[in-house]
Structure 1
Amino acid sequence: MTILRLAIPSPLRRLFDYLPPAATELTTVELGVRVLVPFGNRDLIGILVEITDETQFERSKLKRAKKILDQQPPLPAHLFKLARWAASYYQHPEGDALQQALPVLLRKGHACEYQHEILWRAVADADPNTLKSNATRQIELLALVNEHPSGISLDAIKAEGGNTTTLRALEEKQLVESFQRTHPSHHEQVLHEAPLTLNAEQQSALDQINKLPGFTANLIEGITGSGKTEVYLQAIEKKLNEGKQALILVPEIGLTPQTVTRFRQRFNTPIVVLHSNLTDRQRLDAWLQAREGIAKIVIGTRSAIFTPLKHPGIIIIDEEHDPSFKQQDGFRYSARDLAVMRARAEETPIILGSATPSLETLHNAKEGRYQWLKITQRAGTSLAPTFKLLDIRQEKLSEGLSTQLITAMRQHLANGTQVLVFLNRRGYSPTLSCNDCGWIADCDRCDAHMTLHREPPHLHCHHCDKQHGIPRHCPECNSDQLQPVGVGTERSEQALQQLFPDTPVIRVDRDSTQRKNAMHDIMDRVNSGEPCILVGTQMLAKGHHFPKVTLVAIINADSGLFSADFRGMERTAQLILQVAGRAGRAEDPGTVLMQTYHADHPILQTLVEHGYSAFAQEELHNRKVAQLPPYTHYALLRAETTTKYRAESFLGALRQQLEDDLLLPEHVHWIGPFPSPMEKRAGMHRAQLMIYAENRKALHQLLANLCWYLEQNKESRKVRWSIDVDPADTF
């Protein structure tokens, strides 16, 4: 009797045996298909992993599967294998990992096909000026349809705020039309516009990428403004001419619109975008276009790594150093590392690009695992910015701004250019305090202060999302002397508006860009070239092109220099240089002014005088001496409970028990347990145990045994535990 062995989305790290559905012919069933099965008192979607005739259970007790949902597996064999390998490597339940590799609608059992065969598009040569200026809904809907020249479904229109009545009104005016979905054929000419002329370093990097067929891993370390994107575009062009597809991963949704715009300007070929702001149906349709080879270019964030391509040609990871590529909860995979594994399986080249590569990637390049391609000159005539440290130890600051900095800003604005002010703190002020008794507005669910916001007025914990109104009196002493402490982006915006009343001040942070198309509108204002002041958080640091910004002011260059995380120095250096890279991107020379209380700090001195490469060399040496990644491999066993100290005592007892019961593999070590750097978060008390080893295989052998032990241990059911392999941070 045949047995179906399935991966079920559950917390259990095991497979489940089922009898096949009644009257099902299994000779044509392939591994990887979805199967509807009863699980407890509900139905779930499982993934077929194995067909066998053996089971450790009594056959009479096995449940029968209800239905096999697919004739063909949704994922190609190599991605199915990659998802299973990732589940094993990151110590995550296989059923959940396989589900994460599929679009949401497929996880829910929907058919693996397009829902909409009828689409809408703008009528060719239609004159939008026929619309009255007050017909705002029709104007907005026509603009939306124009953004989708290949067609947009009615459901997608409704998801974007449109409606049938407005659509029919546009149809009556012969501005839009419906049509039957067709699968576009390959364009003879893949380019809309000619590529730019590469300089010698760019051309050398492109030649090295194209030199060898099959899999090659390439690190492009190019300073900001060096034209890395142009190298990507020309590498993709070669693959498109060969009839192949390209997958491009970017770290943030905010970067996606400008990336898509640039790619659509260059290429005359179908492009799809995959990110979390899409509806489930939009995402599945885009996923299907990629799988069927219709979409030649796929641009997405972290989860797009599992998107199948019919003709894979090249994978590009832009800003590869960004921690956003590492999932921080649930299935804690690294999209960057899986991309290298995928490129190897598909025998395609992969490009990892950054001005400030991660130390792990640099180590791989130094060891010869990656081809190391350096671009040290800016593209065109622009020059690298000049750095200057502003020592503010004896300065009297005005809302966080020194006199020297304000003077420099006036000079650049008077010259008709733009200024970028970087402050990595959202809100009006980091917290609220009482001048009389010293009370501070702390979150009662986290070990953190609540951030004061003025738009709208409220206190907000950015760790657990708790919010409440601003008190009029101190809850401790009833004083009305409550004052904001420190400066956030809202307060800086207010101060800059008062200092520069005739200059627009544009704030860019998570709060100001929540509205749909907000980031796009901001970019349009900045790219108009009019003098303005941009003030914002690290959102400004990630890949944006501001041609008229000539001065970058870093308000608090010291944040991160004394972090408890061993990656704190690396992240600080990357952030400083990424922000600094926004200055002087065109003909106008750029300047970077960094306010600091530690002007003599060796890290800042190295960055200013010698650049990122010198810093990375020193930091790698320090990591080697301290036996930290990338010279060792480690994982964090995290535990959290609602009761104080229970998580730490659980991990302590677990460590003692394991040392008594299990033989530790050679050269595998424990550190801890100890409280997490933020011990209390969202009402949970957290602790962690670090496990590290020089040998990756030995580490994973222990982790596999540890997961098995924890699943059998009754005490582990009283806490919430998880394992994070190759963690991006220790928080």
Structure 2
Amino acid sequence: MPPPDHLPGTAYGCHTVVMPFSATTDRVVSKPRGRAPSPKGTYLSRASRGGQLPATPFTTPAASSASSVLAVAVPTPLRRLFDYRPCATPPPNGWRPGLRVQVPFGRREVIGIVVECRTHSEFPLADLKPVSAWLDSDPLPDDWLWLCRFAARYYQHSLGDTLHQSLPVLLRQGRPLEARTRERWQLTARGRGASRDDLGRARRQAELLELLQQHPRGLAVNVITAQGFGRAQLDGLLEKGLAEASSEPLIAAPTPAANQLLSEPSLPLKREQAEALAAMHEGLDRFHPCLLHGVTGSGKTEVYLQLIEAVVARGRQALVLVPEIGLTPQTLQRFRKRFRVPVVALHSGLSDGERLDAWLAAASGRAPIVIGTRSAVFTPLASPGAIIVDEEHDGSLKQQDGLRYHARDLAVARAHRDAIPLVLGSATPSLETLAQARSGRYRHLRLMNRASRHAPARMELIDLRGRPRRGGLVPPVTEAIRATLAAGHQVLVFINRRGFAPTLACHACGWMAECDHCDARLTLHRQPHHLACHHCDHKQALPDACPTCGSADLRPLGAGTERTEETLAELFPEVPVHRIDRDSTRRKDALENMLGEVRRGEPCLLVGTQMLAKGHHLPHVTLVVVVNADAGLYASDFRALEQNAQLLVQVAGRAGRAEHPGRVLVQTLHSDDPQLRQLADNGYDALAEQLLAERRAAGLPPYRFMALARFESPREADATALASGAGQALREWLAGSLEVHCLGPVPAPMERRQNRYHVQLMLSGAQRSKLHEASAWLVAWLEASRDARRVRWSLDIDPQTLS
């Protein structure tokens, strides 16, 4: 194994499993002040400035039959465990880490999780409150508990809150660790030998008997009732001893033999795909991280499917992470169409019962294939075999509040711990992942050719300067749209702004509608008419006149999806226009219904935001128009160019994916910008190499590691004072060390949001271990500071945005 600082990883340079702090305790990073909001149990306290975790992953402490103290994690922001005495009646299998318990906490009873079973406490045993009740006879899965402990340590977050947030809602509420069940009916030995004549005049019972004889493994009750049979026929066979009922989990389809896994044959692979799959097969029994770097439409999903086939044939499970909930249905459909084994989904669109069923099916091994969004990385697997992260560059894989984890990076740690292959797929890999591939820590597998016979469409830059625009479109682009529709093809118009216009302005005095709660302008919407802030969700009616000068000449500035949709409907009244953004797809199945209409192949126009840029296969789209390529290219965040170049390439990849070649028109006010020109002429890979060289020279990720301390308060002075004090104290503690730098405080890019002022402190270091040590000290200082009570603060390890 390579040294700890060189383990593969992604977040800001090296996805890694190296952790600060002791391998045997999750106790407090710092000495708490007094006895904090003292629950009836007693907290643990142990000061620590960190330490390096050994390269070998730690294991959960063993059970103790003689435990007199239970260290319990409760759902609280406090970064510590709490000591309790066991209750009088122990669980059947004894006290073990991972058991859910009900404990008194302050004036409440809460659900906690036993993390350690010990024989002593720092406090007298008589002062400890007992556990009220245990909820499980067996502990929660060990791999889940390991990953939660890892995430809490790495992201400097409360272990109790981490465990709480990564559990299905029903388990947080104390629901038994049991999946929902259904009846399954099968014939008895007597029933298998019975004939229709044995039932005499009971014609319907005879028909049901024949149906069950055709299915030796039995049928679920809902399948039987769908055939027109009722409870009377089932009870009749039961009374005669011909049939019997049993219960089974809702997700309980039998796993077929290895040679019968597929319900439809695999597609033939091209040479590049076959070589990539063969390389993945080499690492089926070890940690084997691969970057599957394939242009859009190159057949990455087919490689995933055939890798999963090999994994499931070995009796193992595969976990597939996708970036957006909108991509989950189409991915599920394709996987369920291919495999005969249960394929379960885990995402926020499921009901609480559905989510628990899927979670338990994965934990028990009844679900060989699990597909989900970022939170699915915490799904326990009975027999892990491979982890796949599709669109690994996508920002939605990073949680932006609470536990600020990155699902891609936790997938790396998890694959390393389980010694299984990891596949990171993208047409536009993040610079962190590219740096890992260039260093040789990841195997770099390339798919440079599309599955179709046409090469990826090249970008054509359309200069907006000095040209009239209608709905954001210039005449040459409008004519290209007209020609494409006349040829019987479809057009995708990409504009990453919801609403009708970015703002409303007074033509007389220049006033612009601004949010009262944020440093942002209000967006004009027309469906229905109102002004809205897309940062705090504040809404207000349109003014009758300018509040500054009283003029009634108020005009929309710029174009959003609604305005572009309206313009296209006027220009091409005979062609349907489908707008796809967050506003138009709020209803359940709205997105799938619209995409279903589009896939019928009739000429139409699609107007959408980045919801359309990721993963969708639109075979009849041959022209993509980007209304404004400049919107995100020149932001203050050093990642802006990388992220927007990825977005442009992804949306351009929707064109020409079938039998007709594609064309991409990119409107810009900066057609002579060298980096935009580099992207258009030479593609994302060339731009990424240039950006990596710039990052190395500037000392930015992936060549240094970062943490961002965020402070927010209704009073600007309070946030600034705390951030200044924390920064000064940290710099004194570092004592001029060159290993970690502390920059700031500075106002956030949007200083006022939701009536709160935001200030930031940035930490950077050449070694992750040193950065974590400084971060741990800062957390300890903040927890001990009286001023921190008046300010909301958080620490973001490996931030993906500075906003």
Hey, what's the Cα distance between the residues in 2 that align with 1:207 and 1:634? 36
CA deviations over 1:623-678 (Å, ceiling 9, x no partner): 00000000000100000000123212221122223334564654100111000000
| Structure 2 counterparts to residues 472-491 of structure 1, below 5 A | 472-491=544-563
1:241 — aligned with what? Answer: 313
1:520 — aligned with what? Answer: 592
1:208 — aligned with what? Answer: 279
For structure 1, the residue ranges without an aligned partner over 5 or more in a row are: 121-149, 155-166
Structure 2 SS opposite 1:645: helix
Hey, what's the Cα distance between the residues in 2 that align with 1:119 and 1:354? 43
CA deviations over 1:338-383 (Å, ceiling 9, x no partner): 0011111111111100000000011111111111101100013232
Alpha-carbon distance change, 31 to 660 in structure 1, aligned in 2, over 3 angstroms? same
1:107: Cα distance to partner?
1.1
CA deviations over 1:423-461 (Å, ceiling 9, x no partner): 000001111111222221111111111111111111111
1:453 — aligned with what? Answer: 525
Hey, what's the Cα distance between the residues in 2 that align with 1:52 and 1:622? 52
Hey, what's the Cα distance between the residues in 1 that align with 2:576 and 2:75? 51
Alpha-carbon distance change, 430 to 172 in structure 1, aligned in 2, over 3 angstroms? farther
CA deviations over 1:592-634 (Å, ceiling 9, x no partner): 0011111111111111111111111000000000000000001
1:217 — aligned with what? Answer: 289
Q: Retained in 1: the 8 A contact 2:273–2:299?
A: yes
Aligned residue among 537, 541, 546 for 2:613: 541
TM-score for the superposition, normalised by structure 2: 0.83
Q: Retained in 2: the 8 A contact 1:8–1:47?
A: yes
1:588 — aligned with what? Answer: 660
Matched, 1:181 2:248: yes
| Structure 2 counterparts to residues 129-528 of structure 1, below 5 A | 180-181=247-248, 183-188=252-257, 189-212=260-283, 213-528=285-600
1:74: Cα distance to partner?
1.7
Hey, what's the Cα distance between the residues in 2 that align with 1:170 and 1:25? 44
Matched, 1:83 2:135: no
2:61 — aligned with what? Answer: none
1:118: Cα distance to partner?
4.8
Matched, 1:676 2:748: yes
Q: Retained in 2: the 8 A contact 1:116–1:153?
A: no
Hey, what's the Cα distance between the residues in 2 that align with 1:39 and 1:171? 53
Hey, what's the Cα distance between the residues in 2 that align with 1:663 and 1:335? 35
Alpha-carbon distance change, 390 to 572 in structure 1, aligned in 2, over 3 angstroms? same
Matched, 1:66 2:138: no
Hey, what's the Cα distance between the residues in 1 that align with 2:91 and 2:270? 61
Q: Retained in 2: the 8 A contact 1:665–1:702?
A: no
Hey, what's the Cα distance between the residues in 1 that align with 2:473 and 2:593? 27
Hey, what's the Cα distance between the residues in 1 that align with 2:660 and 2:452? 12
| Structure 2 counterparts to residues 560-579 of structure 1, below 5 A | 560-579=632-651
1:104: Cα distance to partner?
1.1
1:42 — aligned with what? Answer: 108
How many residues get paired?
688
Q: Which moved more, 1:650-659 or 1:517-526?
A: 650-659
Q: Give 1 or 2 for the bigger CA radius of gyration.
A: 2
Alpha-carbon distance change, 68 to 432 in structure 1, aligned in 2, over 3 angstroms? same
Hey, what's the Cα distance between the residues in 2 that align with 1:512 and 1:566? 32
Alpha-carbon distance change, 314 to 660 in structure 1, aligned in 2, over 3 angstroms? closer
Structure 2 SS opposite 1:112: coil
Matched, 1:22 2:88: yes
Structure of greater relative contact order (alpha carbons < 8 Å, 6+ residues apart): 2
TM-score for the superposition, normalised by structure 1: 0.91
Q: Retained in 1: the 8 A contact 2:181–2:247?
A: no
Q: Which amino acid aligns with 2:278?
A: D
Q: Which moved more, 1:291-300 or 1:183-192?
A: 183-192
Matched, 1:103 2:168: yes
Structure 1 SS opposite 2:122: coil
Hey, what's the Cα distance between the residues in 1 that align with 2:778 and 2:370? 38
Q: Which moved more, 1:226-235 or 1:465-474?
A: 465-474
Q: Which amino acid aligns with 1:186?
A: T
CA RMSD of aligned residues (A): 2.2
Hey, what's the Cα distance between the residues in 2 that align with 1:168 and 1:499? 53
Matched, 1:12 2:78: yes
1:723 — aligned with what? Answer: 795
Hey, what's the Cα distance between the residues in 2 that align with 1:31 and 1:97? 16
Hey, what's the Cα distance between the residues in 1 that align with 2:784 and 2:776? 13
1:307: Cα distance to partner?
0.7
1:316: Cα distance to partner?
0.6
1:642 — aligned with what? Answer: 714
Hey, what's the Cα distance between the residues in 1 that align with 2:780 and 2:489? 61
Q: Which amino acid aligns with 1:279?
A: S
Q: Which moved more, 1:624-633 or 1:474-483?
A: 474-483
Hey, what's the Cα distance between the residues in 2 that align with 1:527 and 1:26? 56
1:632 — aligned with what? Answer: 704
2:604 — aligned with what? Answer: 532
Structure 2 SS opposite 1:308: coil
Structure 2 SS opposite 1:377: coil
**Percent of pairs with identical residues:** 50
Aligned residue among 94, 109, 112 for 2:177: 112
Q: Retained in 1: the 8 A contact 2:182–2:221?
A: no
CA deviations over 1:156-190 (Å, ceiling 9, x no partner): xxxxxxxxxxx99996899xx99953533211211
Hey, what's the Cα distance between the residues in 1 that align with 2:725 and 2:221? 58
Hey, what's the Cα distance between the residues in 1 that align with 2:426 and 2:326? 17
Alpha-carbon distance change, 609 to 117 in structure 1, aligned in 2, over 3 angstroms? same
Q: Retained in 2: the 8 A contact 1:270–1:295?
A: yes
Q: Retained in 2: the 8 A contact 1:666–1:698?
A: no
Structure 1 SS opposite 2:565: helix
1:151: Cα distance to partner?
7.5
Structure 1 SS opposite 2:716: coil
1:479: Cα distance to partner?
2.2
1:134 — aligned with what? Answer: none
Structure 1 SS opposite 2:731: helix
Q: Retained in 1: the 8 A contact 2:627–2:667?
A: yes
Alpha-carbon distance change, 568 to 169 in structure 1, aligned in 2, over 3 angstroms? same
Structure 1 SS opposite 2:655: coil
Hey, what's the Cα distance between the residues in 2 that align with 1:37 and 1:605? 62
